[in-house]
Amino acid sequence: MKILLNFIPLTSERLGGGWTYSVNLLRGLETVAADHELIVVASEKVGQSIECKKAKLLTFNLNADNRIQRVSWEHLKLPAIVKSIHPDVFHGPANTLPLKLSCPSVLTIHDFYHLYCPEYLSWLRRRYLAIVIPTSLRTATRIIADSDYTKKDAIRFANVPSDKIETIYLGGLNDDELRKTDKNEEIIRKLGITKPYLLSVGSSLPHKNLVRLIKAFALVSRQIPQDLILVGEKFKYGSMLQKVADSELKDQQDRLRHLGFVARQELLALYKNADAFIIPSLYEGFGIPVLEAMQSGCPVISSRLSSLPEVGGNAAEYFDALNIENMAQTILYVASDKKYRMKLQERGYVQSNNFSWQKMALETLEVYTKAITIRT
């Protein structure tokens, strides 16, 4: 089987969930699909950051960081390249497919952010996604959803038949990261952090719900010993969050630190040393940080919205993400009870065993076979 993976949607500027999924998919397929031919198409700049051990990497001269150029290239030039390569199956791992394809296709839909949070996108971006995502879902031979929640959204928003979509969960830490078991306390010290602390990982985009988290923490900060550490891109919302912290924490401003983006090794150390991990999001297509925290032995306190309960299972303590007082009381309950945190930790190890990038790759390979069978 000749499999073509489309990495053109990846950019060099934001190494987020789409990048994590695509790279780990490739890594997994190189292991489980060794008997098949793997081809990756990407921009030259992105290609420099991709390590291909068995796959063939084809790079092209385009500025993928320029959205208009990237989108135009994907829809106008890529179909001809696909036709010349003549793959058995084409995989679009980032929500969209080129408008015209000459082979069976598989589409991975991660989320419907443009519908849940339209106010954070430009009008042009909303219109484009409102057209191309439903079109891609309808034209794809088979569809992969990151969660049952996203699968239901695809059925509801694009009227896609249920039997055309399969839920395939993502992984968290890769094999190399799982083998590292030390707590890396030296890294924590270099970041200027003293224990104990609570950790939240995610960007400052409004749907991540950090304003409510800061307010909830402020309500209980005098009753618990842990500080709150925020990790993730600040974007244009960092200064706004700082104003909220200044207002809510007042004379306890040193109890909150917003580190912004950190290196991967630093993030792993932060997971390992935290008393608990908090994810207050209003919307997630999957929630990789939840899984990473559980695999790191970090107890999870989670919003119960969207797909998060699918990842956390019975290993997380849940709260109402729209209710600041409920969030605060849940934080207080977990932060104050070490024995309960240990129970959550053990449950997290068990729950996280249900997920892995290799399992995801195996299940994805099965979808490729189904797509080819349907078209032949």
Domains observed in the chain = 2-171+357-375 (3.40.50.2000), 180-352 (3.40.50.2000)
Distance from CA of residue 111 to its chain's centroid? 10
Over residues 330-343, the mean pLDDT reads 97
Lowest-pLDDT choice from 12-16, 57-61, 63-67, 279-283: 12-16
For residue 17, pLDDT beyond 80: no
Q: Give the residue, 209 or 120, on which the prediction is more confident.
A: 209
Lowest-pLDDT choice from 98-112, 248-262, 272-286: 248-262
What are φ and ψ of residue 291, in 5° steps? -65, -40
Closest CA to 131 of 170, 169, 180, 97: 97
* Cα dihedral value 65, 67, 72, 75, nearest 10: 90
Compute the radius of gyration of the chain from its Cα atoms: 21
For residue 375, pLDDT beyond 70: no
For residue 160, pLDDT beyond 90: yes
For residue 316, pLDDT beyond 80: yes
Categorize the per-residue pLDDT at 83 as very low, low, confident or very high, splitting at 50, 70 and 90. Answer: very high
Stated pTM of the model: 0.91
Query: Are 324 and 220 spatial neighbours (Cβ–Cβ below 8 Å)?
Result: no
Percentage of the residues of the chain whose pLDDT score is greater than 70: 98
What would the pLDDT profile of 168-180 be if each residue is shown by its tens digit? 999 999 888 877 7
Over residues 312-322, the mean pLDDT reads 97
For residue 376, pLDDT beyond 60: no
3-state secondary structure 205-270: CHHHCHHHHHHHHHHHHHHCCCEEEEECCCHHHHHHHHHHHHHHHHHHHHHEEEEECCCHHHHHHH
Categorize the per-residue pLDDT at 36 as very low, low, confident or very high, splitting at 50, 70 and 90. Answer: very high
Query: Are 87 and 103 spatial neighbours (Cβ–Cβ below 8 Å)?
Result: yes
Classify burial at 117, counting beta carbons within 10 Å of its beta carbon; exposed 0-12, middle 13-18, buried 19 or more. middle
Over residues 329-345, the mean pLDDT reads 97
Residue 118: cis peptide before it, omega within 30 degrees of 0: no
DSSP state of 108: E
Over residues 142-147, the mean pLDDT reads 96
Longest CA–CA separation in the chain, Å:
68
Categorize the per-residue pLDDT at 12 as very low, low, confident or very high, splitting at 50, 70 and 90. Answer: low
What does pLDDT average to over the chain?
Answer: 91
Per-residue pLDDT at 47: 87
Categorize the per-residue pLDDT at 21 as very low, low, confident or very high, splitting at 50, 70 and 90. Answer: very high
Contacts of 12 (CB under 8 A, 6+ apart): 43, 45, 46, 49, 64, 65
Question: CA distances (Å), 56 to each of 47, 50, 51, 53, in order?
Answer: 11, 11, 10, 8
Over residues 325-348, the mean pLDDT reads 97
For residue 64, pLDDT beyond 70: yes
Closest CA to 138 of 152, 154, 116: 154
For residue 15, pLDDT beyond 70: no
